[in-house]
């Protein structure tokens, strides 16, 4: 069945360093890949997303890259700050003719930024 | 923030009792979802709805049922709660009729089955 694998499960970095989280999806029909950040006790919130017709997308200190051939995508956070500490989830979705409808999530990465 | 309200926010119940969780949205989105979140498993889809009275199963649907009698409300029912259903439940909505649409989550319901 559809599956999204996410690595690593935990990641500790020094403040100011970069962090990279990787996901691999199984369904080649997937065409939309959002990333969510979840702070302790709160709901997941969308931080960046990428569509299958784009290889890379940036938004200030965060970026996402997509390799459709290898079926993997990655989240890059540069110049990490303590407030980046959270659990990050990747997801993959494929659309019906009218758009995306079903999302499969990775198991999450707990990022700790050490001051 | 997307207008999504989950109730109750916390619930403690005994094994074998029925439980209903409610998700209410004010965004008029066609798609609504129920996920459960457990350590080591991330977010797993229980059921989703693509319109009034239109629902489908997700990857962990056993032991759960859903109903959607109007656009704004999506109910998740545990007919006979078990300890394995202790979890945090998130409702989410999306609007794919307008093209690719990300999920927006409610604040979650923490359910404990004793």
Return mean pLDDT, chain A.
92
Question: Per the CB < 8 Å rule, is B43 touching A89?
Answer: yes
Contacts B59 to A, Cβ<8 Å: 1, 104
Q: Are strands B42-51 and A109-114 parallel, antiparallel or unpaired?
A: unpaired
Report pLDDT for A2: 77
Residue of A18, A5, A20 lying closest to A65 (CA atoms): A20
pLDDT higher than 60, residue B1 = no
Average pLDDT over residues B108-112: 97
Interface test with B, best of A2, A10, A87, A99 (most B CBs within 10 A): A99
Distance CA A19, CA A34 (A): 17
Return the pLDDT at A98.
44
What confidence category does residue A70 fall into, taking pLDDT thresholds of 50, 70 and 90? very high
**Burial class for B10, CB neighbours closer than 10 Å (0-12, 13-18, 19+):** exposed
Radius of gyration (C-alpha) of chain B in whole angstroms: 13
Residues A66-73 have a mean pLDDT of 95
Mutate to test the interface with B, among A40, A43, A51, A110 (most CBs of B within 10 A): A43
Bridging pattern class, strands A10-14 and A32-38: unpaired
Residue B10 pLDDT exceeds 80: yes
Burial class (CB in 10 A: 0-12, 13-18, 19+), A68: middle
Judged against a pLDDT cut of 80, whether residue A91 lies above it is answered with yes
Res B55: pLDDT: 93
- Identify the pLDDT of residue A18: 98
Provide the token pair at A8.
Answer: 């690593």
Closest CA to B90 of B28, B30, B27, B32: B32
Task: Say if the Cβ atoms of A100 and B94 lie within 8 Å.
Answer: yes
Provide the percentage of residues in chain B whose pLDDT is more than 90: 86
pLDDT in tens, B65-108: 999 999 999 999 999 999 999 999 999 999 877 777 889 999 99
Beta pairing, strands A10-14 & A109-114: parallel
Determine the pLDDT at residue A95. Answer: 66
Of chain A residues 59-98, which have a CB less than 8 A from chain B?
89, 91, 95-96, 98
Tell me: the pLDDT tens digits for A45-67?
999 999 888 899 999 999 999 99
Give the angle B45-A9-A34 at the CA atoms, nearest 5°. Answer: 50
The DSSP 8-state label assigned to residue B33 in this structure reads E
């Amino acid at each position: 069945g559809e599956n999204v694998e996410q690595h690593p499960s935990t990641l500790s970095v020094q403040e100011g360093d970069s962090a990279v989280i990787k996901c691999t999806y199984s369904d080649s029909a997937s065409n939309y890949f959002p990333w969510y950040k979840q702070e302790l006790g709160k709901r997941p919130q969308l931080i960046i997303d990428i569509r299958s017709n784009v290889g890379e997308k940036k938004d200030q200190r965060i970026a996402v890259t997509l390799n459709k051939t290898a079926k993997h995508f990655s989240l890059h956070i540069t110049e990490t700050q303590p407030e980046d500490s959270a659990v990050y989830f990747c997801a993959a979705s494929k659309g019906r003719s009218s758009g995306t409808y079903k999302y499969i999530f990775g198991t999450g990465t707990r990022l700790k930024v050490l001051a | 923030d997307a207008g999504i309200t989950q109730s109750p926010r916390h619930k403690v119940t005994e094994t074998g009792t029925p439980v209903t969780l409610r998700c209410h949205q004010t965004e008029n989105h066609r798609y609504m979802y129920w996920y459960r979140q457990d350590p080591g498993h991330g977010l797993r889809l229980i059921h989703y709805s693509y319109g009034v009275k239109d629902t489908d199963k997700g990857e962990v649907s056993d032991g759960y049922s859903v109903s959607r009698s109007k656009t704004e409300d999506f109910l998740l029912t545990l007919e006979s709660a078990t300890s394995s259903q202790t979890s945090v439940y998130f409702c989410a909505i999306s609007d794919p009729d307008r093209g690719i649409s990300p999920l927006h989550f409610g604040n979650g319901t923490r359910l404990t089955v004793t």
